[in-house]
Structure 1
Amino acid sequence: MKTTTNSIQIASSLVATIAVVFILYMLQAFLIPLLIAIILSVMVFPMVRFLERKLRFNRVLSALSALFILASLTFFVFYFICFQIKDFLDQSDIYASRLNVLYEEIQLHFKKYNLSGLLSSENKNLKIEALLKDNFSKIGEFVTQSGSILSDLFLIPIYIFFFLLYRKFFVTFIYKVFPKKNNRFINTILKKIYDVQKSYLLGLFTVMFIVGVLNSLGLLFLGIENPFFFGFLAALLLLIPYIGILIGSLLPALVALATKDSSWYAVAVIGVFGFVQFLEGNFITPKITGSKVSVNSFVSIIALVLFSMLWGTAGMVLALPITASLKIIFDHTQHLKPYGFLIGEPLDEHLKSNAMHRLKIWKEIRANKN
């Protein structure tokens, strides 16, 4: 009988999980801008609170002011990126002709060793110029066909405004959803989720700035064109954990291959970005973020893969903040605590155990003295 009950519970959990995943997939057009708006609301909330407390702005004016500043910064960043990309595209013919020359040289070397069949000039898919122009044309198609991106640019600010304006109203709603829970308990969870999101965002932007400077200095030392643009563009791609900076290294490596006399410059570019990635993953991010976003690397990679399968690139950006928030909820839900333990850093648990052990010893010493 007990075995049957357990089987029913497992089957019910599996069906519920499949249903949740299906709903998340079907509602991605609604959920993605909503979640992005929540995260951005956390980012601008300190500014809103400053305007309300120090400058005595009302809630509407402070939310609109913060939204205007955020929109201005976003516009400036995207304008700069688009301007630089346009400059890059204007020189694409020069880059393509240079890469075709390199391609022909590689063919000659292959012919010397009777390997010319591997790089047939009749294979149009291997024509560098065709590849570049095809990819550049796809950029325009992506922009024109992705109407959802344009709609999100209008929806996200609206969501942010109402999240900031009705924040106390939403907290009261959560109290009513969980009437059996103490309000102090709910406030604790909400504060921890807010703190982990704020720490993640603050740490992320700090890391992006440091990585952007290191990338730019490396490219400047190698003499690559537009070093600060390519350096900070790769840093911006840190929004996609683990693989973002590797993707960002391909573009300057391509420019190095097209503009420098030796292909070793392209190898050096990838080497610089790989070294910066090593520093970021092992020293910069752990030092800045610390244990505030305590999600272990293995779970981070799994979350990255699963969310990318679910929501594409947007899922890769949202994977870590969502997983960090889920950990807090799991840690404060009795039957989900094992999953919170699985998501967390093993080192954190070890340190926590040591701290509890030291506290127990200290209490025993104090009791003996008394």
Structure 2
Amino acid sequence: MNNLPSTVKRSIELLGIVLLVSILVVGNDIIMPLIMAFFISIVLLPVNRFLKNHKVPEAVSIVLPILMLVIILAGIVWFFSAQVKSLVSDFPRIKSNVNIHLQSLSKWISGISHYSTTEQVDFINKNTQDMVSFAGKTASGAAVTLSSLFVFVGLLPIYIYLMLFYKDILLRFIFMWFDTQHHPKVKEAIYETETIIKSYLVGLLIQVTYMTVLVGGTLMVIGIKHALLIGVIFAFLNLIPYIGALIGNIIGVLITLTSSTELWPVVTVLGVIAGVQFLDNNILMPRIVGSKVKINALFAILGVVIGGKIAGVSGMFLSMPVIAVLKVIFDRTDIFKQWGVLLGDERPTRSPMMFPAFRKRSAVDTKPGVEK
């Protein structure tokens, strides 16, 4: 491939990207559980190695970490369910508060426009049928998603077990793709990929814990209703880079509005979330994750959007570790090095338009970027 003209190489690369995305779109129900299982198995690998080093039978050394993971996830689901149950039990008061907010909104609309309250009610009644139809379609789609989720969750532990059991076969398969002289680079890439995935996913688990405690605990001390539920929802949505935090803020405001007739709790919720986010982004998360791979914000957001389009929430969640792994691979291959530069945030100190040295593949001086 090195002897091919550069235009042919670029064309093959672009065709490869199109083919890869097409495969992900068509087979996301099969591929996404595999990718998720791969990342989780990397996280469980140190526990598996520890048990094997202490003469624990191989099957047991694989099953125990998986059981530990299941217990942790079951605890998270139980905690979230308890908070949702508390919200549902408060439904009569929520209904009353929503009516008060709707009346205030109606008066505000009447004050800034020529639409009276009666006209607003007529407009809502005319669109009721469309809303019911949309709700029916949404419920149907949710049922399909729920069934897919059960399949996803059912296959995940099986995939994790088999990946840990056959990890040596998978490693040999990877090495056999490359010439012997390239094996040191391959080994280095494998170790760095393992480190990145472990630090990222373990960091996210720690992040969910302290975000729930900080947001939920602070709001609970202040006296905001359903504080822990707001904290849990925001903590998990915050796992989705950039977009998740915005959605978490919106849901937090909506839950607060339904539990109170005043506006000060909304301002309080937004202020607490903003303060915790600042602390998380600038102090806590960089120290916890500590990844050496830096992804620029443009491709981080683009990756989240594309991942969500391909595989929904799981695709959005997996987008960042996938991009980080791709960058590790690209940075260590001569034919794909330019893609590693494109994904990273290592900005040249001078414009490549003015200085030819900054157009080359060799390393260049860069400005410090923001670690992602």
Question: Shorter-chain-normalised TM-score: which range?
Answer: 0.7 to 0.9
Give the 5 Å matches for 1:11-160: 11-54=11-54, 56-116=55-115, 120-124=120-124, 142-143=142-143, 146-160=146-160
Q: Distance in 2 between matches of 1:280 and 1:348?
A: 28
Asked if structure 1 preserves the Cα contact closer than 8 Å seen for 2:39 and 2:197, the reply is yes
Which structure shows the bigger proportion of residues in helix conformation? 1
Asked if structure 2 preserves the Cα contact closer than 8 Å seen for 1:189 and 1:329, the reply is yes
Distance 1:263 1:123, change over 3 A: farther
Distance 1:140 1:248, change over 3 A: farther
The alpha-carbon deviation at position 10 of structure 1 amounts to 3.9
Letter in 1 for 2:280: E
CA offsets per residue over residues 252-298 of structure 1, 9 Å max, x none? 32232223241231232123223322332233322332343422223
The alpha-carbon deviation at position 191 of structure 1 amounts to 0.6
Asked if structure 2 preserves the Cα contact closer than 8 Å seen for 1:95 and 1:255, the reply is no
Structure 2 segments unaligned to the other structure (5+ residues): 351-362, 367-372
Structure 1 segments unaligned to the other structure (5+ residues): 356-370
Give the 5 Å matches for 1:1-370: 6-54=6-54, 56-116=55-115, 120-124=120-124, 142-143=142-143, 146-346=146-346
175-184 or 73-82, which deviates more: 175-184
- Secondary structure of the 2:265 match is helix
Distance 1:312 1:98, change over 3 A: same
Asked if structure 2 preserves the Cα contact closer than 8 Å seen for 1:245 and 1:273, the reply is no
Q: Distance in 1 between matches of 2:279 and 2:347?
A: 20
Aligned length: 348
The alpha-carbon deviation at position 235 of structure 1 amounts to 0.8
Across the aligned residues of Structure 1 and Structure 2, the Cα RMSD in angstroms comes to 3.3
The alpha-carbon deviation at position 308 of structure 1 amounts to 1.9
8-17 or 153-162, which deviates more: 8-17
Q: Distance in 1 between matches of 2:90 and 2:137?
A: 15
Letter in 1 for 2:340: G
Distance 1:333 1:257, change over 3 A: same
Distance 1:61 1:126, change over 3 A: farther
Q: Distance in 2 between matches of 1:145 and 1:288?
A: 33
Ranges of 4+ aligned residues in structure 1 off by more than 6 Å: 125-128, 134-137, 347-350, 352-355
- Percent of residue pairs identical: 26
- Secondary structure of the 1:116 match is coil
Asked if structure 1 preserves the Cα contact closer than 8 Å seen for 2:87 and 2:226, the reply is no
Q: Distance in 2 between matches of 1:303 and 1:106?
A: 37
Asked if structure 2 preserves the Cα contact closer than 8 Å seen for 1:42 and 1:197, the reply is yes
Q: Distance in 2 between matches of 1:340 and 1:67?
A: 34
Letter in 2 for 1:268: T
Asked if structure 2 preserves the Cα contact closer than 8 Å seen for 1:121 and 1:127, the reply is no
- Secondary structure of the 1:122 match is helix
- Secondary structure of the 2:335 match is helix
**TM-score (structure 2 length as normaliser):** 0.82
Higher relative contact order (CA 8 A, sep 6+): 2
